[in-house]
Amino acid sequence: MYINQSQLTDEKQLSEASKEQAERFDVAMIGLGYIGLPTAAVIARAGLSVRGVDISERIVDLVNQGKVHIQETDLDALVKNVVTDGMLTASTEPPVADIYLIAVPTPFGEDKSPDVSMVLDAARLIAPVLPVGGCVILESTSPVGTTQQVAGVLAEMRPDLAIPGHCGDKAPDVHIAYCPERVLPGKIIEELVANDRVVGGMTKACARHAQEFYTRFVRGDCIETSAGVAEMVKLTENSFRDVNIAFANELSLVAEHMGIDVWEVIRLANRHPRVNVLQPGPGVGGHCIAVDPWFLVSSAPEQARLIRTAREVNDAKPEHVIGRLNAMLAAAPDAKIALLGLAFKPNIDDFRESPALEIAQRIASEHGGRVLVVEPYTDELPAAMAGSGAVLTTYDKAMAEAELVGVLVDHDAFRSAPRYLSAGKIVYDTRGMWAQ
């Protein structure tokens, strides 16, 4: 428990308190994953002392050595610098800090309902050390109402503190806010600084306090609102994108059914000043767009009909692609197929929740030795494909051997490869990479 100086009675307590004061940090980042670690490093670069906290000792050890456990543009050099400068350290234990940021996963369960248990565990971790004047900010994508739940945990565990929403007319002792991350994997360091932030407080004073903190390292506008609005803003952003991608994916099925080139349709439709159709693909991957809309559906199942349908349209796309590739393989029984790309989107090495990987795994499990996989962002096939008979190879070799091609990811490396190498092949291009 955080010790208030005025409550100290003997020398032992005094020395413990001064040690604690010496270890007081500007910021504690709870969760050192894809968002937490880059955010911690960017804040440390801005001159604030940051203690990263993670349940994984491996991650804590790596960070303390100035190393990273994830791939993200410019992250390794940044972490090395801030750790060397002593501005970022890591531990499995939460420290006393002025600002606590929570960036832990919020997955969904079998029934697609959100699981905020890791957020609430983070609040339980913070509660014992939260000082008077401290501020807790949730950044994890969360269903509306989660920030209030965090406040509830803190109020229950710290009856000595006046917690916003739980202290009646009394002035709160701490601030609690919600500020969603909205950075794009591959551009996280850049967007952490450049993007606008929406800062939602449990009270106006909470929003103001948190907003002032973000202006220390964010160049974009930091806009104050309520916690509930900020929570829904984040879900709205990713649902908007999912619905728009679903429109493009559905359009690709409609056009395919009618024998029309969807890429040409979209290119020409987008010449209308108020039309901007997104790009169809093999499905929607990653850990955000395919998950977050369910948080809205779960909160308002009767009302969120379009959002639910968009999820279903996008989730069904990989199966359609598998069907098309299987048909190509059946029609040319002696031919090999080159599958281009495994990542969940172009130009990154992130294969988690990747529709391309799901498709390649299924095709490899059914056609093994006929499958040549090209993925410049890995040195070996993922474990699930090992033993299938599929081979990881280069673009040039795949094009020399395969008569069939399935484009699953439009990495720049594929776009810039000589087109004549794929001339004369039977191609199923889920990304429109070779569209005219």
Question: Which stretch, 127-135, 280-288, 319-327, 393-401, contacts ligand SAJ (CB under 6 A)?
Answer: 280-288
| Minimum distance from residue 140 beta carbon to ligand SAJ (Å) | 10
User: C-alpha angle with apex 194: 188 to 195, nearest 5 degrees?
Assistant: 80
| Minimum distance from residue 370 beta carbon to ligand SAJ (Å) | 26
Position 237 contacts ligand SAJ (CB under 6 A) = yes
3-state secondary structure of 429: strand
Position 293 contacts ligand SAJ (CB under 6 A) = no
Catalytic residue among 288, 317, 336, 345: 288
Cβ atoms of residues 36 and 100 within 8 Å: no
Give the one residue of 40, 78, 88, 288 binding ligand SAJ; rule: CB under 6 A: 288
Position 284 contacts ligand SAJ (CB under 6 A) = yes
Site for ligand SAJ in 135-194 (CB under 6 A): 141, 181-185
Mark 97-136 with x for binding to ligand SAJ (rule: CB under 6 A) and - for no binding. Answer: ----------------------------------------
> Closer to ligand SAJ at the Cβ: 49 or 249?
249
**Binding-site size, ligand SAJ (CB under 6 A):** 20
Position 241 contacts ligand SAJ (CB under 6 A) = yes
Mention every residue, 6+ apart, whose C-beta is less than 8 A from residue 214. Answer: 179, 197, 199, 222
Position 363 contacts ligand SAJ (CB under 6 A) = no
> Closer to ligand SAJ at the Cβ: 114 or 185?
185
Annotated catalytic, 288?
yes
Torsion sign (Cα): 313, 315, 317, 320: negative
HSE-up (13 A, CA, CB side) for residue 302: 0
Cβ atoms of residues 40 and 29 within 8 Å: yes
Position 285 contacts ligand SAJ (CB under 6 A) = yes
Site for ligand SAJ in 341-360 (CB under 6 A): 344-345
User: C-alpha angle with apex 62: 292 to 57, nearest 5 degrees?
Assistant: 75
HSE-up (13 A, CA, CB side) for residue 181: 28
Catalytic residue among 135, 222, 234, 317: 234
Mention every residue, 6+ apart, whose C-beta is less than 8 A from residue 272. Answer: none
Give the one residue of 142, 147, 238, 422 binding ligand SAJ; rule: CB under 6 A: 238
Buried b (16+ CB within 10 A) or exposed e, 180-211: bbbbebbebbebbeebebbbbbbbeebbebbb
Cβ atoms of residues 314 and 290 within 8 Å: yes
Q: CA-CA distance, 433 to 203, in Å (whole number)?
A: 49
Tokens for 48? 């604030």
Question: Which stretch, 17-25, 115-123, 273-281, 419-427, contacts ligand SAJ (CB under 6 A)?
Answer: 273-281
Residues assigned a catalytic role: 234, 288
Q: Which residues bind ligand SAJ (CB under 6 A)?
A: 141, 181-185, 237-238, 241, 245, 278-279, 281, 284-286, 288-289, 344-345
